[in-house]
Structure 1
Amino acid sequence: MTFDSRYVALGDSFTEGVGDWDESRPNGVRGWADRVAEQLILADSSWGYANLAIRGKKLHQVLAEQVDAAIALEPTLVTIYAGGNDILRPKVDIDAIVDAYDAGIAKLCASGAAVLVFTGFDSGKSPVFGATRGRTALYNELVREAADRHGAELVDYWRMKELQDERFWDIDRLHMSPAGHMLTAKKVLEVLRRTDAIDLPELEAPPARTRAERLRHDAQWAREYLGPWVGRRLRGVSSGDNLTAKYPVPVHIRPSAGN
């Protein structure tokens, strides 16, 4: 099937859609990029959608494996976010990875596609991931400069303060919940100057916990999510090692039943 317009999404788990679980979708996830594509297609059926993002990918892998593949699809619109998995590593050269990222963004822009990039999330309130806040702030400034230099659109994820609410996050505290993905989709469409029919769900009241209950809750999270996450990194393996892209070529997708 051919399409007059093609949206191609690149990146890691953030763009693949982890946290927005949907067993009816490839890789079992939906995500903000699917939701953006659904709205584009609902407004104009000439759009096709490809998503090359795979969870666990570091920036150099996204650039090496996805950029040329995206350009080969002759995209009208490309969204890309990469570097989050690098920032969480024990050591990272932010200047070096964003230099490489800059070249990738330039290549995508030179293809004639409209390109949209993201800053990183402000994790300052996280007792675990907050330690990377300074790295992310530096990464963000360099990404903003790259976007300005190449004429890319920017979603300033750092400034989406609504996402400081834990209800926008999955139980693993690393990936957004469905509500977080929906909020991000609406922001992307706003930056693209597109309308949407996404209705954010009414969030349940956050659970009231005593200090002891919070400690037990945090300990359970560390056992079930933080420990395995650290273990994978120590072993040099990724949750995405056996996965392929959700939509390697453009397709039509529609909203899931009921939402």
Structure 2
Amino acid sequence: MKAMIFAAGRGERMRPLTDSCPKPLLKVRGRPLITWHVLNLVRAGILDIVINHSHLGHTIEEELGDGSRYGARIVYSHEPTPLETAGGIANALHLLGDEPFLAVSGDIYAPYFDFSLALDALKDIDAVGVPYPVDKRDIAWLWLTPNPWHNPDGDFALDLYTLKNDGATKWNFAGIGVYRAEMFDGIQAGEFLKFGPLMRKFIEQGRVGGEIYQGQWVNVGTVGQLEELNAPLRAAKTAS
């Protein structure tokens, strides 16, 4: 399985920090956000990684290189203008291939997430070995979290392991998912396209599965959140 890390966002809410540093390179507890993902992907045995970038993208390439020092194989998909999530995936499909792939937001901090869960996320056969019809099998599998303060109403409901667009209890999309390449059929390379409407279309068809992740997860969206995450490290340095 290959993985894609989204790193093309401008990080407007993190300015002025992101004026000179792309958001995924901001450090949390001693290492860049994106490096946490690379290390955890390698630990899970997912070595082929595609990273899209735009704003100050060359600095991401300078930091991570070809990934060999982490035991990974990293290639890059540059976007002169950010294409949003669905557009970014479509633009990188030639690097991701035809098999299901994992994708993760480069600005989340989830140091204990086990990416090996992705390896078994999308099944082509049922529990007794009968192949699913191509138009009935799950096209995506998402991880959800309890709703954070910045998304109190959540994104999707969950009926056992099937996502719903509406429901009494809705959960926050964690920015981690596994997708089939066919989900992005018809989207042209270089096309700007948001992820939400596309995902909701397939959820309405009953073709998106998911589960809850209860471990540490933070969408690092503000300078205050970054400072809060780094407070223990600063305290330890002060004490020493």
TM-score, normalisation: structure 1: 0.32
Structure number having the greater strand percentage: 2
